[in-house]
Amino acid sequence: MSPISQLGSDHHHGQPISMVAAMGMNNPTNGIGSVRSASPSVGKQSLDGMYGNKPASPIPNGYAHVKPGSTGNLTADLIRDLKEKEAEVEALKKKEAWMRAALTKASRSGFVYAEEKDLGDNAGDDDVDGRKVAEMVINLKHLKARLQATVAEQSKHASERIEEAERVRSSAIQEASFYRAKLAALEASSESDVARLDRDRIAQLESQLAEVTSDQDGRDRKIKELSESLSLQTTLLEQAEARAEDASKRADMLSDAHTQEMKVQNSLRERQAILEASLRDHAEKNVEQTSHIEQIEADHMKVQAQLEELQLSRDQHVRALEQAMNATQTASQRAEEVDSQYQRATDEIKRLHADMAELKGDLEARNTEIEAYRGRVKDLENSWAKSRQEADAFRALTTGGLGELLDSHKDLRSDEDRAIRGHAEKVSALEAEISSFRDLLKETSRRAEDTQTELQKERHKVREVESESLSLRSQVVGLHAKLSTSAADVGRLRQELMTKDAELRKKSEEVSNIAVQLDTLRNYLAEHGIVEGQEIPEKYADNSASRVVELEEQLSGLKRLQERADRDLQRVVQQKREADVRIDTLNEELERMQHSAQSAADEAAETRALEAERKLEETETSYKARMQQLEEDYQLAVHYVKGTEKMMRKMKDELTKQKALNQTIQSELDRSASVEPTSSRIRGLNGRGTPSDEGNEILKNQLSDAQRQVQRLNGDNRELRSRIDTLEQDLARMRDNIIQSSRDLDERMVRIEELEQEVDTLQKSLTLARGGQDETMLEKLNNENSNLKRENDELSHKIGLLLEVEQPSFHRPISGISERRVSTSSSDGLVAFENELDDWSRQILNGRRPLNDFDPNPLGHERTRSR
């Protein structure tokens, strides 16, 4: 129950009420409701209301049923706000319960939570719906925290208002009890009690006035210090705005540099794609050449076996050729003998034809001729024996000639053996080179495996860095939520400032109205003979005491705000230090990863032929993801820097307005202080000093609220400056990451060029090992062996034909009459065979070509054939 309500209830119990109390109840500026009403409607009071209205009830003073002042309006507003906040919290709790139910239903339907390792491996392939759900949960948590903070703040404001109302209520009760006692003494006509009460009141007020005066001086000094701090904060704000403009310019420059880097990156990606295609082609060619070398090795083994078989067949052909030469010599001797006999027989036949033409008619002559023929046959037999002797001599001569032929064949064979040994040495050199290539391939495979293991380790480290970057990103999201909360608080404070400004204007009007009423009351008291007494210092002390109490409360509130701001600042500084430590740790980890990658690249210089394609694809994917992330972070940082710049400008405008408002309030306080002594003297006469005190309390409350808002704005400015510094550090780190990515890409390009050179070198070596692009050594040896085999077959066929032709001559009858045409054909065949043998010898001895392309010149020595 309020004090006025208590007065009304006391009246119902039969106690009278004084005129001063009735005037206090009738004056709307004296009620407690005027202090607690959310929107008081105070107009200019008429003079009739100052001196009391005629009561309409039988009660002596007529004010028993005046509507008492209370704190109902403020409490109702506070309760309504609390109910709204509780409704919002309940709605959020229901939404959270719905989300939990949906997650439970999804898990029951078969969906499982991904493990940490799978989440690390598939961080870049997460589902879009999953990310949306995670963002929604995070936003709900932030909204819940913001609502809790808002409800706590509203509760705190409500408790402060309630405490202020209780304080005003206690002061009003004390003053009412004093005036009630004084009224009772006046009604009892006890002048001594009235004087004693006045003296006690004056002494108490004087002591309070001394304390309030000393406290007022200290508060004035503190206000001066706060004003200097406000000017310092203004200077710092201007500097922060200048830094924000510089940051915006740097952000624009970084945006241009990033665009150029993106163009260079795109060109490098295109070049990398071309190089990857060429590298794949070279790898395919290398595989083809390796398989071709293996085929050549198999063909070499096969040709080696065929060469041995051909050597054996060549030996058999040489032996058959010796036999054929023997038979040829024998046949040639027989042919010469038969030719000589044929010539003699031809001459004899001509002579006999002439004799027969002359001696046809004479039988005797025929008999004589027969006898002559018989003698001549005997001569032919003798000549046959002699021809046999000549044949033996010719056989010995042929044997010597064939020996020379065999010697020349052996020399030719030794030459062929030397050539074959040279080719064998070349083949052995090629085999050694192939074995070295195989060793190199094994070493390359081993190094490729080592590099693959190192690459897996680097991928694991990259995944860890990505997880840490995701955690940092979540922290950045939290900071963004705090920034939005701060922006909402700034908007709310701006609205409250506008409300306080309106209330201040209304209170100024009320103060002017009160001053007019006090002047009127002073004139009225002067007309009725009431003069100023010793109560002036008492009332002045009462006013000063209430003002001192109010200023102490304001100072304690300011101290609490300062302590809370210091705690927030220390917490933000600690968070900043932790973020700096984490950033330094991440930078060291990145440098270590880059150093290890560089050392691995140096060690794997010889293994890049097989791993380049796979490694380049993985590197391209990782760098694409990394560049996309950096681009998104950069765009987000630029957006927040611009938003921060706009917020700083708005806050600067609000700070300027706040300065003007503070100056206006200070001038009004000075003016009120100048008016205050006169009004206090008048109040001392009638014992009513409360309305002026309450007006000053309102102004001081507004001043304290404005100062709290200034402190809050300063804290927001400090927080924004720290966030701007954090964003600048993020931009610098992003720039360093982009530079490091460009360096890594340049190193990859250099490695690709080196791999291309190595592939070209291997291809040239393989071409040299093959001996040309068209025909290999083994193919040429195979062709040459096939030609030799074909020539041997032709010679064997010709020798067989000659033997078949000359075979019947060994069984002819020893007669010069029978079948002489056979001797003629045999002689022609021998002549043709001898010509073919001569041609073959010339082809072998004089017209030999080199066996392969490795012999630049034919065999230097020539052999002459013995005839």
Tokens 């003494």 belong to 185
Q: What is the pLDDT of residue 612?
A: 59
The amino acid present at 158, given as its one-letter code, is: A
Tell me if 148 is assigned to some domain.
Answer: no
Residue 863 lies in a domain: no
Q: Would residue 805 count as lying in a domain?
A: yes
Report how far residue 400's alpha carbon sits from residue 709's, in angstroms, rounded to the nearest whole number.
136
CA 341, CA 565: separation in Å to the nearest integer?
Answer: 148
Q: Is residue 363 part of a domain?
A: yes
- Within 10 angstroms of residue 852's Cβ, the number of other Cβ atoms is 20
**830-867 confidence digits (pLDDT tens):** 556 566 656 665 665 554 444 444 444 443 443 334 33
Give a yes or no: residue 347 inside a domain.
yes
pLDDT in tens, 468-513: 777 777 777 777 677 667 667 766 777 777 777 777 777 777 777 7
435-467 pLDDT tens trace: 777 777 777 778 778 877 877 787 787 778 777
- pTM metric for this prediction: 0.21
**Residue 529 structure tokens:** 């003979």
CB-based burial label for 694 (10 Å; 0-12, 13-18, 19+) = buried
Cα–Cα dist 809/767, whole Å: 61
Tell me whether residue 420 is in a domain.
Answer: yes
Q: Which two tokens stand for residue 576?
A: 């900043």
Residue burial 432-452, b: 16+ Cβ < 10 Å; e: rest: eebeebeeeeeebeebbeebb
Model confidence at 779: pLDDT above 70: no
Q: What percent of the chain has pLDDT over 70?
A: 54
Place of tokens 């609205």: 495
Upper half-sphere CA count for residue 46 (Cβ side, 13 Å): 4
pLDDT at 503: 78
CB 185 within 8 A of CB 197: yes
Residue 738 lies in a domain: no
Higher per-residue confidence, 203 vs 21:
203
Tokens of 785: 């062996």
How far is 706 from 260, CA to CA, in rounded Å? 50
Task: Report residue 813 CA to chain centroid gap.
Answer: 110
Structure tokens at 599: 């050392």
Per the prediction, the chain carries an average pLDDT of 67
Structural domain contains residue 320? yes
Please count the structural domains in the chain.
Answer: 1
pLDDT tens readout for residues 252-278: 888 888 888 888 888 888 888 888 888
Task: Read off the pLDDT of residues 626-635 as tens digits, 9 standing for 90 and up.
Answer: 667 766 766 6
853 touches 772 (CB < 8 A) = yes
Domain containing 349: what range? 302-434+771-845
Give the whole-number percent of the chain exceeding pLDDT 90. Answer: 0
Cα–Cα distance measured from residue 39 to residue 141, given in angstroms and rounded to the nearest whole number = 36
Residue 283's Cα: distance from chain center in Å? 29
